[in-house]
Each structure stands twice: as structure tokens, then as C-alpha cells.
Amino acid sequence: MPMAPAYKRILLKVSGEALSGDQQFGIQPEFLDGVAQQIAGVAKTGVEIAIVTGGGNIFRGMAVAANGGDRVTADMMGTLGTVINALALAGALTNAGVKAKVFSATTMPSVADTYTARAAKAALEDGYVVVLGGGIGNPFFTTDTAAALRGIELQCDVVLKGTNVDGVYSADPKKDPNATRYDQISHDDVIKQNLRVMDTAAFALARDNNLPIIVYSLDDKEGLSGVLEGRVRSTRVGQ
């Protein structure tokens, strides 16, 4: 008999860089399809999946702000990139054989349904993978914070944050050879030690609402199902 999934509902953060592959910019179709296949495989086991897409492969507001541009406008441009990624991922999920629905935090009715927790929950209960674009819909935030917020709103059991290292380290392991990896660490310790795997705002929200976050490497061959089944080296933030 197949093992019952450990989680009923998960929130997955898919960064822009997970879709751009080895390109500097945009979406590389093979990477997009690879990510979609992994997600579809897990969805078919009955786990309910909400996804927050990043947009760093298209545009980051900070890049314009750093050159003296208006941050509010620049961040709105950034959020448009996250919607582009959400649409692309939902298309690839549909091709991979699962139902997917895009919601946008910013109203754009001819492009996607407008996000409400009520509508997104109903879609999850109907068996859709929901793909959430537009971050939280406000400038000065990132999609990591959106992942924590939506995880809480949608009553997910855990947030999964794929990155380029296999967990949370005491320092950047790519720069400091003495950096050590944690199997488990509290939200508070991540914040106090300023371990910047996600924004402080994301960790604070998750801490205040008892939402665990699993940080793992996107390069691990076992992929998302391996992470959920505990076969992948990762760090659990929170209980």
C-alpha cells in the first residue's frame, strides 16, 4: 500500500531562478517543465498544493530603486513578473496532467482570478493546484513574505523553500568553510542570528503563527517528493 502523505496541504515557494535554469533572464522551458513534473507527481498523491511564484528571473524592484528610480513603480513591475511566472507554471502543470488555477493579488481580471483566501481554499478543496502571483500585492515586500502569509491564510501544514544550498547554515557556506548546517532551528534563532535564507518578515510571520518552513536544495535529485518524504537533506525551521 502507498504511504499516506505526511502533509495534507503545503505551500511551495517557487523562485524565479528555479524557472530560469542556467539563463540570466526569463523562463527556460525544460526547467519549467521539470518543476511542473515534480509538483504534479506530488499533487497526484493527494497532497493539496498552493504555490507562490517569485519574479527575480524577470524583474526585481530593487534594481530600479538602486538607480534612483521610484521603488513603488519598480515593485509593481516586479509583481507583474511574478504573475507571468504563475501563468507559465499553471500552463506547465496542466500539461503535466493536473488541474491548476492562477490567482493574482493585484486585480487583473482578464488575466487571472483575483486572490482571496476563500476562493483559493475552495479551489484547493476542489483538487486544483493553486498558483499565486502578485506577491502580497504591495511594494516593499518579497514573495518569500507572500509565501509565509499565504501559507498561514490557507492553513498549510508547512512552507517549502527551495534554494541553492541544502538548508540553513550558520554563515554562507559558499563563502565560509566553517559554516555549519542546522537540521532544525527555531524561527527566533534564524531571526536573531540574521540568517538570510528568507526575509526576516517571512520568518516573523511564520513564527507568530506556528508555521514551519523547510529549506532544501533545488539541485537535489530526489526533488519535491523526496523532501516531503524526508529523504532529502534539509533544515526545518520551527517545530
Site residues, ligand UDP (CB under 6 A): 15-17, 54-56, 60-62, 75, 78-79, 81-82, 135-136, 138-139, 141-144, 146
Nearest distance from C-beta of residue 21 to ligand UDP, angstroms: 13
Q: How far is the CB of 26 from ligand UDP (least distance, A)?
A: 12
- Fill in the DSSP letter of residue 93: H
By three-state DSSP, how is residue 214 classified? strand
Smaller CB separation from ligand UDP, 17 or 189:
17
DSSP string computed for 18-83: HHHTTSSSS--HHHHHHHHHHHHHHHTTT-EEEEEE--TTT--HHHHHTTT--HHHHHHHHHHHHH
* Closer of 13 and 101 to ligand UDP (Cβ): 13
Question: Least Å distance between CB 8 and ligand UDP?
Answer: 25
Instruction: Indicate the residue among 24 and 239 with the shorter CB distance to ligand UDP.
Output: 24
Q: How far apart are CA 146 and CA 139, in angstroms?
A: 11
Residue 144 exposure: Cα atoms within 13 Å on the Cβ side: 18
**In the complex, minimum distance from the CB of residue 142 to ligand UDP, in angstroms, rounded to a whole number:** 4
Helices (H), the chain: 16-20, 29-43, 61-65, 71-95, 117-125, 143-153, 187-192, 200-208, 223-228
Q: Residue type at 205?
A: L
| Shortest distance, position 120 Cβ to ligand UDP, whole Å | 16
Secondary structure of residue 132 in the 3-state scheme: strand
Instruction: Report, in Å, the least distance between residue 146 CB and ligand UDP.
Output: 5
- CB closer to ligand UDP out of 135 and 151: 135
Instruction: Name the residue nearer to ligand UDP (CB basis): 18 or 42.
Output: 18
**Which of 71/99 has CB closer to ligand UDP?**
71
